Structure 1
Amino acid sequence: MTQDELKKAVGWAALQYVQPGTIVGVGTGSTAAHFIDALGTMKGQIEGAVSSSDASTEKLKSLGIHVFDLNEVDSLGIYVDGADEINGHMQMIKGGGAALTREKIIASVAEKFICIADASKQVDILGKFPLPVEVIPMARSAVGAPAGETGRSSGIPSGRGDR
C-alpha cells in the first residue's frame, strides 16, 4: 500500500469509534482529511463536528456535516487527529499542521483521543520532526526574540491551521 492508501485505511478504521448521535472532534492534516471523508458517510447519524482548523471546517461543510463552534458544546465523545511522530510509549509530537492550540483545546474536552497515523510516523526517538511551538499573534515579538536567541528558527507557519 502507498502512504496515502495507509492514511485512508486508518481514517476509515477510526469510524468504529464514532457513536451515532454524537458530536465528533476532528483534527487537521492529510490523515485527518481521510477521516473526514469517511465521516461523511455518517453525516445523517451524527449531530456534527467541532473542527480544529479552517481547512477541516471547509471539508466538513462540503460533505454536509454541521460544524459546531467549541463554545456550543459541553463535551465531545472523541477527538480524531493524526500526529507528526509517535514513539513506542505512545508519546507523540503534534501540531505541525499549524493548528496546535486549537487541537489541544478540542482534545482536552474529548473523552477519548483517537490518534490515526500510518507507519511512517512511528519512530524510536521523538525529535526528528521539529517540535511545534505556537505563539498567539499579540505575543509574537515578545516570544519571537527570545526564541531566536536559542538558535532555533521561527516564522509564520505555512500550514492552513487556525488562520
Structure 2
Amino acid sequence: MRAASDLALLGILTTVAALGVLTAGAAVATASAAVHHWIERDTWPGLRPTLRTFVRALLPGAGATAVAGGTAGLLVLNLVALARGAVPGGAVLLAVTAAVLAAAVGFAGLTVVELGRRGGHGWRGAGRAALRTAESRPLALISVAGVLALAATLGALVLPPLTPILAGHALFALHAVTRRVAPA
C-alpha cells in the first residue's frame, strides 16, 4: 500500500508540475530520476536534490517537450488525414503510420527510463542510449510502447481525475519493464 500511495503521489506531483507546458519535460525527467532512485535504493530522494534536478532539467526539458509535441502532432495529423481519406494511400499507409507512432511512443518511453537512470539529466544522451536499446532489443521498444498504450487506455476509460494517479504507476511500470527486457 505504501508503494502504491507513493507512486500515486508522484503521479499527482508530476502532473501538477507539468501543467505549465514548458515544465513538462523537467517534471517527467525529475519523476523518472526519483523512480530510478527508489528502485535502486528503496528510498525516495530528498526534497533539495529533487528540486535541484527539476531546476536543472527546465531548459533541456522544454526543448524535449517541443520536439516530442511536434513529432506527436505531425504523426497524429497524418493519421487523421489518412483515416479521413484526405491523403491517398488508404489502409496501408494508415497501418504504417500507426506503427511509426507506436515506435515513437516506445522510443519516448525508453528515453524517459534512460533519463531516470542518468539522474534526470542528458536528454540527448538518453535518446542515443534509447536508440541503441531499441536497435539491440526490439522487444524493449514493443514492451514500453505496450505499457504506455495500456496506461493511455486506462486513462481514457477511468475517470479523468484519476489519470494523474495512473501517471506515477505508469512511470514505475516503464522502469520495471525496461529493467526486465533491457537491463542496464
TM-score under structure 2 length normalisation? 0.23
Greater share of helix:
2
Structure number with higher relative contact order (C-alpha < 8 Å, ≥ 6 residues apart): 2
TM-score under structure 1 length normalisation? 0.25
